[in-house]
Amino acid sequence: MTQTAKPSVRHPRLKRNKLGLTQRDYEGSQSTLCAGCGHDSITAAITQAFFELDMPLHRVAKLSGIGCSSKTPTYFLSEAHGFNSVHGRMPSIATGANAANRDLSYIGVSGDGDSLSIGLGQFCHAIRRNVNMLYMLENNGVYGLTKGQFSASADVGSRAKRGEENRMSPIDPASLALTLGASFVARSFSGDKKQLVPIIKAALTHRGFALVDVISPCVTFNDHEGSTKSYAHTREHGHEVVETDFVPILHEIQAQQDHGSTTAVTMHDGSVVRFRSVDEGYDPTDRDAAYAHLKELQAKGEVATGLLFIEPTSMDLHAFENTVDQPLVDVPFEKLCPGSEVLAELQSRWR
């Protein structure tokens, strides 16, 4: 079904992916966000990643909460089903959806208000359950849609547009996720598509909960001097600790040929994520070391970016629950209903 139409100029020479689709096919309706909003850049990166992964459009389910960030599922993959839910509760909806149909690709989009204030409990518990989804946290340090209040990710000392200073310690989604045992933790910057796209691809391929925390400046309420989530501040203080390269399953893998600092992690579907540590010795498979490094950089006022941690073999929700491989929505009723004979048998015990 079409949303508000976007001027649809088709470039005949646009690149096509394996499904014969162009990147345009992965777009959605026209964004209604402020011009320059970081969220729009993330939308573009998502679009590109899905395109490059040759993902069938209708096999994707996109979910969100409420906020400017949560509006963005309208702006990509218009031929995927979407669910713009209520504030802070997207994780539970995604969990239930995934429980019912494990075969779709899930992408949840949320904001720092949506995930770290009202939705903090659900966010943490979705991590614990390792729900198989890409969780995109579009982090701008403020509540954009309600006009610029500090969110829980606002840094100590960051100043609001009207001047007040935040003094409470921020909730940092990446270190929180590491603490909670998340199986995939990445951070990036909306302004760095080169870093973001392979991270999104890896996250979509990961089996389990993949947190992608993206600093995504709010041009209207949090892009001024004194803000630590502005374009300028993020450009200056972002610090890539590891470079990521995503190699799809069918590509030839030139794994061990690289420099010594490269590691490769094979995903459950056979695709490979290659890492090149920027910070000497950084090991994205060592949770506690990753945490320590993050905190060290944070103490210096720097924001660690990259695919910070991955544990590709962790159990996901379905492994915990030992559900059948077939999506539950596809199991025929005959296999679900035990029938009249069983009912009689059962009841013979209830006397």
Ligand X SMILES: Cc1ncc(C[n+]2csc(CCOP(=O)(O)OP(=O)(O)O)c2C)c(N)n1
Where do contacts with Mg ion occur on this chain (CB under 5 A)?
111-113, 140
Q: Does 33 bind ligand SF4 (CB under 6 A)?
A: yes
DSSP symbol at 115? H
Q: Is 67 in the site for ligand X (CB under 6 A)?
A: yes
Rounded distance between C-alpha atoms, residue 296 and residue 251, angstroms: 37
Q: What does the alpha-carbon distance between residue 107 and residue 142 come to, in Å, rounded to a whole number? A: 22
Answer for which of 4, 30, 146, 313 binds ligand X (CB under 6 A) is 146
171: partner contacted, choices ligand X, ligand SF4, its own copies, none (Cβ within 5-8 A by kind): its own copies
Give me the least distance between CB of 198 and ligand SF4, in Å please.
Answer: 24
# residues contacting another protein (CB under 8 A): 81
- Closer to Mg ion by CB, 130 or 140: give it: 140
- Name the nearest CA neighbour of 42 among 135, 173, 114, 176: 135
Among 24, 81, 87, 237, binds ligand X (CB under 6 A): 87
Would you count residue 237 as binding another protein (CB under 8 A)?
no
Nearer to its own copies, 96 or 121 (CB): 121
Binders of ligand X in range 23-52 (CB under 6 A): none
**Separation CA 20–CA 121 (nearest Å):** 41
Residue 246 Cβ vs ligand X, minimum distance, rounded to whole Å:
26
Residue 16: strand pairing partners: 22
| Residues in touch with its own copies (CB under 8 A) | 117-121, 124-125, 128-130, 152, 167-172, 175-176, 179-181, 288, 291-292, 295-296, 299, 315, 319-320
Q: Let me know: does 204 contact 49? Beta carbons within 8 Å.
A: yes
Parallel, antiparallel, or unpaired: how do β-strands 149-150 and 242-247 relate?
A: unpaired
- Look at strands 242-247 and 272-277 and give their pairing: antiparallel
Q: Measured between alpha carbons, how far is 11 from 124 in angstroms, rounded to an integer?
A: 43
Largest CA distance in the chain: 76
Q: Which residues bind ligand SF4 (CB under 6 A)?
A: 33-34, 37, 39, 68, 140, 144-145, 218-221
